[in-house]
Structure 1
């Protein structure tokens, strides 16, 4: 089939990410003798610089890693709610939702510690060696992609009147950076240089330096600046100025953690995901809901089947996923449970939110989720009306479905980055950094980056799996993937896109594993390029948590026959631009030959894969 680019193949190393400079930085580390984990960390810090509207150092990152010869593990870089972030605290402020911006929405930052832990335990390079690429781009500038300036313009008034520390970096001379113009962040470069100097002064040992860097982030000059700034009231989406709940004690007590992945076996493949504190198991549930015989890929019947299965999985996500209660994953992925759920799928589009009852336990939906399901919360399907509803989907001729959007009143729905790396030793890693967007919180002037807003994904209602709970993680949309064939790690992949991530990834995975191989390996680029779609038939994860029952947004390339048949079946179809759904990245390794492959998304004109 026609593809926008070839599926790259080689034997030395492969990197794919949502920005070409991050991919090339990862490749530079591989060329310098580093392994996949060194390369991933270097690329992650570059993404903080070159995609600041999509992620930052005080955001979060889940990582799935497959060390050569070792078990697949999940590294959780999703920080919990601070000790003071109780439902009672927020409701006492007159809030029924966590704001979408500002210090009150900040969880304990998790990304930095996760990157340091990955580098310490699995990498070979020093702190200075992996940070030098990010420091260079922050200090000397990088050509800005279009969306940075566009995002800044949406919050110009907020920056100039309220978040002035952000204006100093992102409105230099009163102007947002033009596409291709050089954007610098010298305070960030200075932060990393000071970090390196202090870590090197603590020890000459590589691992000890990394532990020192983690302490400095938590309790040193970085931790002190973060805690001080979190205590300063700032305007947020509520229209009021609020201080955050994050303290120095919260920062000092946090560490990223390793855990076992959740897996599901399907036709000889095993897919590994993060557990129910993420939306990752929704991917596995969608696989479990598939019948033994699938319709032809891309046919109306195929698209309808995947949409309706995804609705059931996402309904279960709302009723059962979260870190505030046990997630019954064994039951949710059980054959009997999914056989019964599969019977709910017929030829007609469902407009209902239908969570199941694993092990006979009744599901519980919160009042805000029920309000969204009833239509009481408005939804803007094109993400352009200024209503502030939901995470963006697609705009005709406008921003990609995977780009953040900020209304002029400060309402924001941010987005995400992704990266995958494979090396010649057989290591694979997949990571989805997000949060800490330039539009999420004011920049901490002493550091050059803002806090995140991940707490907006938790509910202010007691007794739910995703209730805002001190010390517990808000359920995240971030969901990297790793696939094994006959028990051997073969493919790492993922995408930005908020609630759409595990919808787009399922379409990619099936296209990659069910279609004929090219040049002896999976047609990764063909699977990335294939027309994609998503639905919004569940309460969104981003403020103000809206839902659009019966919806499906498709790329126009999907074909009029598919669009017309979906409408005949009752789907509320929005036809988006030809290249507007998904921003997938992927790398793969053939365990028999050692041949490596990679592909990246052409949508948005900035994702790239490199390798040799």
Structure 2
């Protein structure tokens, strides 16, 4: 079974399974197709996070770490010297070292069975021969057309050839990326390399130290427009690119209602979902129903607490100067102290907990980010700048927290990302969330056919912050796929795009399936909501105290009671929040299932 955020990625991954490939072969094939068909949500210059189990070790969830670090020269001092108080939301100063491609190739090398050329054939075909462009991609290009024509001419050449905007359904190619794929495959076809694993490593080396790395560094030396409204050059070097390799890590887990939930460590936001479950585990089932006012209120209040701890404590613990007290934050005793803070009314405070021996970081709490400097420095249209970080009704213009991204005239975007889940006949299972390097994050590198990501916008330019910008350190990513195990066997892989909302929407799925008895598709279809009562991970990092965004299908009675409890409610329309997909496996019978999001009529589940 395969489920993803785009039907072509699902179809290609499923084709691999039909031809005898395993879940890892299929996931890699589908992921490279997502680079092509959802270029407004991810790209080869971005990052990814995966969680998986193998059929041979079904009780050992692992993390596929494809989050590159900040370049060595990306320092707070350098960015402050450029007049910046936040890392920009677009432009190469926001770029971490690209991690997605290397991570997918590591997964294929270590756990797949297919040759690289066979896995990449699907993506290569769509890049060379074309695919029908989505209306949402066209809308994204249209929203940044002025930026492209006035400041990013290489992006205009790729996405607006001859100055013409594409139309939904047009056959769109990416000849430069097709040539890049051909060159990577040529590097892997060296006759002196005798093994499949060696051929994949040859392509990885060409990516990190060959033509790709040289083109990235050379192109980044030319200053270009950032979301700050000012022009800057990049700081990435050949040594930065050569020094990064994706890795396999142990997952962090907690037990909830007899199930094991597996996530990344605190270099991602995943443990915030685990902390939320630990708090909720102390409530009776009536408090855990997202379809009731009591349940929605309890869930929203719990999320505020766990995400406040994310801001106060989470960061890359692999860096010696970082110490993340994750074991304490996920303990039952700590969860009980946090649970005691939840009352019948909505909190409008930022309330991280107190951890012995650790001082919580308190970020700047902005409700807007309107500055005269942005306009004076030539940012162009200020659309969206200063707007509250809440979703708008479906009839209004896209907002910063709806399921599809908003793209401002400066190139900054929210709600980005795509997702893929695969389970095969043997019991291998993988959930992965690729993101970054979307077409509007920085100018297209013409030799390569893609641009760099903007993950560094999730770091703070504040010394002492657990997620402070530090050369060589991973930014705290929002990418957060989930794996669920029962009695030592993986039973569900799921995930969603949506930035800060990814784990909030996945939480609703988990509660509805584990506690409420919903089927996977019923849980995905059910009304969604999320909190905005915390500093956002994306530039300009604003918050709305007490804010909550809900789908209207939650019902007038429930929404009214939430408002009476003090929640500042924004209605998002009936079908607006979440793009969850999932695959499941019943270990006793071997029955496989998949489910995909109906919102936007783009996600797709398939299987046999």
Q: Structure 1 pair 392/422, CA: closer, same or farther in 2 (3 Å)?
A: farther
Say if 2:571 is the partner of 1:575. Answer: yes
How far does residue 259 in structure 1 lie from its aligned partner after superposition?
A: 1.0
The structural deviation recorded for 1:364 is 2.0
1:30 aligns with 2:17: yes
Question: Residue 117 of structure 1: CA displacement?
Answer: 0.2
Shift of 1:204: 4.3
Deviations 1:162-194 (A, max 9, x none): 111111121123222211221111111111012
User: For residues 42 and 210 of structure 1, what CA distance do their matches in structure 2 show?
Assistant: 14
Q: 2-side partners of 1:31 and 1:566: how far apart?
A: 48
State whether structure 2 residue 41 is matched by structure 1 residue 41.
Answer: no
Q: Does 1:407 align with 2:400?
A: no
Deviation at 1:511, TM superposition (A): 0.8
Give the drift of 1:149: 0.5
* Pair 389,39 (structure 1): closer, same or farther in 2 beyond 3 Å: farther
Counterpart Cα distance in 1 of 2:389 and 2:218: 30
The aligned counterpart of 2:378 is: none
Worse-matched range after superposition: 424-433 or 67-76: 67-76
Partners of 2:522 and 2:25 in 1: CA distance: 28
Tell me how far apart the structure 1 counterparts of residues 570 and 194 of structure 2 sit (CA, whole Å).
58
In the alignment, what sits opposite 1:335?
A: 332
Distance 2:520 2:298 in 1: 23
Counterpart in the other structure of 1:294: 285
**What secondary structure sits across from 2:177 in the alignment?**
helix
Structure 1, residues 563-607: CA drift from partner, whole Å, max 9, x if none? Answer: 010011011111111000100010010000000010000011100
Q: State the distance in 1 between where 2:560 and 2:415 align.
A: 32
* SS of aligned partner of 1:271: strand
Q: Secondary structure at the match of 2:298?
A: helix
Determine the structure 2 residue equivalent to 1:6.
none
TM-score w.r.t. structure 2 length?
Answer: 0.94
Give me the TM-score of the superposition, normalised by structure 1.
0.93
Which secondary structure does the structure 2 equivalent of 1:121 belong to?
A: helix
| Residue of 594, 605, 610 corresponding to 2:606 | 610
2:188 is matched with 199
Q: Is the 8 A contact 1:417 1:496 kept in 2?
A: yes
Q: Secondary structure at the match of 2:253?
A: strand
Q: How does 1:346-425 map to 2 (within 5 A)?
A: 346-359=343-356, 361-365=358-362, 369-372=363-366, 375=367, 377=369, 386-387=384-385, 393-397=391-395, 398-399=397-398, 401-413=402-414, 415-425=416-426
Q: Would you say how many aligned residue pairs link Structure 1 and Structure 2?
A: 585
Which of residues 275, 283, 287 in structure 1 aligns to 2:273? 283
Q: Does 1:308 align with 2:308?
A: no
Question: Residues 349-376 of structure 1, C-alpha deviation per residue, up to 9 Å, x if partnerless?
Answer: 00000000123633121xxx2332xx36
CA distance in 2, matches of 1:276, 1:287: 16
SS at match of 2:77: helix
Return the offset for 1:227. Answer: 1.3
Deviation, 1:294, is 2.4
Corresponding residue for residue 249 of structure 1: 239
Of the structure 1 ranges 287-296 and 537-546, higher mean CA displacement relative to structure 2 is found in 287-296
The correspondence of residues 114-153 of structure 1 with structure 2, limited to 5 A, is 114-153=103-142
Q: Structure 2 CA distance, aligned partners of 1:183 and 1:553?
A: 35
Tell me the equivalent position of 2:168: 179
* Partner in structure 2 of residue 160 of structure 1: 149
Could you tell me whether the CA contact under 8 Å between 2:389 and 2:543 is conserved in 1? no
Q: Name the SS of the counterpart of 2:65 in structure 1.
A: strand
Q: 1:446–1:489: structure 2 CA closer, same or farther, 3 Å change rule?
A: same
Post-superposition Cα deviations, 1:274-323, rounded to whole Å, max 9, x if no partner, equal: 01000000100110111341226211000000000000001001000111
Relative to structure 1, the CA distance from residue 410 to residue 492 in structure 2 (aligned partners, 3 Å threshold; closer, same or farther) is closer
Distance in 2 (CA, whole Å) between partners of 1:508 and 1:144 is: 30
Query: Which of 548, 552, 559 is the aligned partner of 2:555?
Result: 559
Contact 2:4 2:420 in 1 (8 A): yes
Secondary structure, aligned partner of 2:582? strand
The offset of 1:154, in angstroms, is 0.8
Match of 1:545 in 2: 541
Distance change >3 Å, CA 45–CA 376, structure 1 → 2: closer
Structure 2 unaligned blocks of 5 or more: 372-381
User: 2:87 touches 2:94 (CA, 8 Å); kept in 1?
Assistant: yes
- Is the 1:389–1:546 contact (alpha carbons within 8 Å) kept by the matching residues of 2? no
Q: Give the Cα separation in 1 of the matches to 2:249 and 2:423.
A: 21
Which residue of structure 1 aligns with residue 448 of structure 2? 447
1:113/1:90 Cα in 2 relative to 1: closer, same or farther (>3 Å)? same
1:7 corresponding residue in structure 2: none
Whether contact under 8 Å (2:224, 2:231) holds in the other structure is yes
**CA RMSD, 1 decimal:** 1.6
